[in-house]
Structure 1
């Protein structure tokens, strides 16, 4: 029996634009995530209805209670609360989230809130080009304060944003629609920096405004193996982790970019503009924990510069290669999901150990799951043994990490129910609960418990694996 601590938080996760629907209901504004989903409406589902949590939240929270969840990690929609990003507060949006929070608490489920999950109000893009402009930082600080004041009497666990370190690498999530290629890295670096300042302001304000509030960053975790034991490849693997995740964790935890990242920004001529007061703001922001999202590991080899590719040249976006540092390779020793993510439970144990060793902060997993098509049988069931196997193996890795000495206090798989996948619509499903719809056929939106629902229910009941 792999038994966890009595106060371990078994949960599940979602995000506003992927689950809520009601994209323009009751005064909500359009977000960047909405805009991007509408560009793909002809080929897949968009965010207009999604899983329709907006109209089904009471039913859905009852299912969460039945499953036994101790916590529910979800995001608020900035554009539902402040439709144009920095204007008037929409009371209907506040009312909706008050109802969700109260329903969760009535079900003995702790609300664990993310303030920003890929869904910047689109009005801020039109006014400021979003995070490139310092005014977006001010708008976010005000939005966070509105949330703390509205919900902080009942919500004590907060995340500022979801996967800034991954978000910054995806052009559409950063509204980089009309940026000239030669200017892209400068704009990206400025947006990234402004998000760090906003994160620090929101962290400091949470500690001031929310009694007993706790707050921390949520990162897309990166664990990279060297392609060989050649020293250059070992260094390349470290630098892949550094450039894709660790530089951000250092900024969150210590309030400054690490030396290797400063050197890179300076050599490439893209060091962001800063304000004199920023250093004190960033240094004061001390996270209470680190949340990590884990799906896969990577492999890297050393990538030298050449005549066509000088220092700092990037290729690709999410899993980019960086000349002078690293090239991402495929791991021949791992199986992959249908959508290409390599499955590696041991990597989770490794990354938990690595983050705890470096930062000595409590950890919680806020995303981990298997995205794949599910088949509804003729008798109305979903037999997803493959998902059970995946989650069982990763829970076992969590247990092993705890035995290693890691202070892990919760596990929230992605996702509580099927929801809108950014690039695969409803073809790619992650949930414990099946949502009966297809990309262009809403059907009845019925909620159907998968085999994994009942399995996870038993895990929570027994507080671990048999």
Structure 2
């Protein structure tokens, strides 16, 4: 990867640092712009060993380390109808969720679990019957442990065939109602966390009990790209009757070098020249056939954005668990705006606008969906209801998205992360992103709207035009008088 490209991106980000118009309404966005929210299977469903589901790598990882876990979490597996009703009351256009591979096909390949299949059919039907569009992610970090045990999971090219077969089941069974598919969630983050730093499943790194941080992240990323492309080709060849379907692989939009790492092959069929020079023989090579398979395999770009990061040329070791080789390979130091380790996210909407501008200019202005954006706050049942900082964060970033759209970005949707408090993959139950609280001490996992849920609902229904102290006071008054429903 050429450093000049990274410096140009840093300059682009600096150029768009700006204040955003505070006085906007939903009507200022395009009429077909989708507003939504989301969850993922391991973080929301619970029921980790019920109805035929077998362990995923997340189950194994957290249980073997005695960590907080998603064994029950929100109990969405049993409470999905209640949660869909909250989506309706909030006024969501769309809802994003993932399918648990180990619930649908417990061994990773072979027989489909009928109870798992029926759960997802019921959930999707419940969403669609209320006029909400389902956005489905096939893989959110949680492949079946059986595949990890059998052949090393994503380190082995065998998983490409197994993932494609799994995707085929999902396309066949759910495709009549699902028009937007994400194949792989945050492929770049998954490779770094699981195979470079070792802080997420399967927990491999050079200083972990197993792994090689200098080679494995590149092998895994390569296989993820090929699996995505294989599933995308399958859909387009086998399911042509499903109209207006778009498929993509998702990347984190907080860090430009990781965008380049994934979007380069997806756009041009190969890794950037500078990256190939830097990584050398440790970087897998696309065959001519594979290059054609990967190139153009995305119908849109899905962006996840939480934190701003400035890029500088440095050999200093960045903050990452384990012995990080990826950033050393890139030859850069990332400085976060806000405290990443303490989950204190500063409001920096210029970074969101910069990412969208960069994608527009560098990759031919493809369709973009902001699939995650949100602010964590410490779990506190006494204080979390009045989450004014989250409202300020969301308001600023939605304004940045609007400005990018007005400047020509083909951004088509914005999803708040997360719809409710979840088991967070990096912090367990210490911090939450939800606009609805979940009382994890209550065996019934009672849900309650936070101030941000009231605010987001009011915005979606056209009842609020801007954010100021009087708006917040009015929302707080509403919350005090009716804390259980919108």
TM norm structure 2 = 0.82
Deviation for aligned residue 1:277: 3.8
**Which of 158, 161, 166 is residue 135 of structure 1 equivalent to?**
158
Cα deviation digits, residues 397-445 of structure 1 (max 9, x gap) = 11111111111111101101110012322221111111111xxx44431
1:348 matches 2:352:
yes
Gaps of 5+ in 1: 224-240
5 Å matches for 1:210-249? 210=239, 211-212=242-243, 213-223=245-255, 241-242=256-257, 244-249=258-263
In structure 2, the residue matched to 1:148 is 171
Of residues 340-349 and 13-22 in structure 1, the stretch that sits farther from structure 2 once superposed is 340-349
Deviation for aligned residue 1:367: 0.3
Structure 1 Cα separation of the partners of residues 273 and 464 of structure 2: 41
In structure 2, the residue matched to 1:404 is 407
Cα deviation digits, residues 313-357 of structure 1 (max 9, x gap) = x996689642672122355xx687952444311111111111122
In structure 2, the residue matched to 1:191 is 220
In structure 1, the residue matched to 2:74 is 51
Structure 2 Cα separation of the partners of residues 356 and 287 of structure 1: 15
Secondary structure at the counterpart of residue 168 of structure 1 = helix
5 Å matches for 1:8-27? 8-27=33-52
5 Å matches for 1:410-425? 410-425=413-428
Contact 2:205 2:211 in 1 (8 A): no
In structure 1, the residue matched to 2:368 is 363
Deviation for aligned residue 1:31: 0.6
Deviation for aligned residue 1:175: 2.0
Structure 2 Cα separation of the partners of residues 104 and 315 of structure 1: 39
Structure 2 Cα separation of the partners of residues 323 and 260 of structure 1: 11
1:275/1:385 Cα in 2 relative to 1: closer, same or farther (>3 Å)? same
Structure 2 Cα separation of the partners of residues 322 and 337 of structure 1: 20
Contact 2:307 2:336 in 1 (8 A): no
Of residues 94-103 and 317-326 in structure 1, the stretch that sits farther from structure 2 once superposed is 317-326
1:444/1:304 Cα in 2 relative to 1: closer, same or farther (>3 Å)? closer
In structure 1, the residue matched to 2:267 is 253
Of residues 248-257 and 316-325 in structure 1, the stretch that sits farther from structure 2 once superposed is 316-325
Contact 2:154 2:224 in 1 (8 A): yes
Size of the aligned set, in residue pairs, is 429
Gaps of 5+ in 2: 1-22, 467-486
Deviation for aligned residue 1:137: 0.8
What RMSD, in angstroms, separates the aligned Cα atoms of the two structures? 2.6
Of residues 157-166 and 178-187 in structure 1, the stretch that sits farther from structure 2 once superposed is 178-187
Structure 2 Cα separation of the partners of residues 104 and 182 of structure 1: 41
Deviation for aligned residue 1:304: 5.4
Secondary structure at the counterpart of residue 184 of structure 1 = coil
Secondary structure at the counterpart of residue 413 of structure 1 = strand
Of residues 256-265 and 64-73 in structure 1, the stretch that sits farther from structure 2 once superposed is 256-265
1:128/1:271 Cα in 2 relative to 1: closer, same or farther (>3 Å)? same
In structure 1, the residue matched to 2:331 is 325
5 Å matches for 1:298-309? 298-303=309-314
Secondary structure at the counterpart of residue 144 of structure 1 = helix
1:111/1:262 Cα in 2 relative to 1: closer, same or farther (>3 Å)? same
